[in-house]
Amino acid sequence: MATGTGDSLGRALNELLRDYGAQPPRRLSTYHAKHWHAQLSQLTRTQRGYEALERAGLSARPETLIKWLSDAEYTVRRGYREVIHAAYESVAIVPADPMPQPFKDGQFEITGVVRTGDDERLRGGVTGSGRITAPLRIDGRSGNWDETERKWAVGELDDDAFEDDFIDYVIIEDIGEGTGGWDFPGTSYIVTV
């Protein structure tokens, strides 16, 4: 069983996804050079860097590259600097892991305050009167994950976006719109699959 916790539903969902081992796109810590010369120097140290330069459209001969690298003050055309920077950025970013299918197919149990219309209540906890409530259960297999996966892949799936997408494309697809939409106004959520 995987678990995500957070001060919002979106944060809990992001934590749950990471509990599955999925990582969002991220920058390699060793790629922080700003100047074109330092970027080119780093790119030409690996085959992957040369391939990135080629994909970005750099068509300089090896002798030209040696000339550029031998003098940090050498001036290259702006077009070449832009290509070098594009290649550098393409190597510096590690793509997001795909969302695991078991995550998307999961039976989500949400604990926290849930509101639909005028009905607001704690789900999956103990009320002030001592009554135990059932969590909100959502079948992820009913969801349409396309937009959520697109945002995840490009690094746009922050907590707010995840909460909105989960409501629009998973909850509503599984159990409907509720009596007045879905809202998660609480300050503590636990999501398990």
What digits encode the pLDDT tens for the residues 128-169? Answer: 888 899 999 999 999 999 999 999 999 999 999 999 999 999
Q: Give the domain extent around 64.
A: 26-94
Q: Which two structure tokens, joined as six digits, stand for 14?
A: 């992001």
Residues 134, 122 contacting (CB under 8 angstroms): no
pLDDT at residue 74 above 90? Answer: no
Domain co-membership, 19 together with 44: no
pLDDT at residue 72 above 80? Answer: no
Domain co-membership, 7 together with 82: no
Number of domains, the chain: 2
Domain co-membership, 82 together with 101: no
* Sign of the CA dihedral with 50 first, then 26, 32, and 75 last: positive
- Which of 74, 94, 114 terminates a domain? The answer is 94
pLDDT at residue 116 above 90? Answer: yes
Domain co-membership, 133 together with 40: no
pLDDT of the residue at 1: 87
- Which of 41, 66, 94 terminates a domain? The answer is 94
Alpha-carbon distance 127 to 111, whole Å? 12
What digits encode the pLDDT tens for the residues 22-70? Answer: 999 988 888 889 999 999 999 999 898 999 999 999 978 888 888 899 9
Nearest one of 121, 104, 97, 122 to 162, comparing CA atoms: 104
pLDDT of the residue at 127: 81
- Which of 94, 114, 149 terminates a domain? The answer is 94
**What length does the chain have?**
193
Domain co-membership, 149 together with 70: no
What digits encode the pLDDT tens for the residues 77-99? Answer: 889 999 999 999 889 888 899 99
Domain co-membership, 175 together with 146: yes
Domain co-membership, 50 together with 110: no
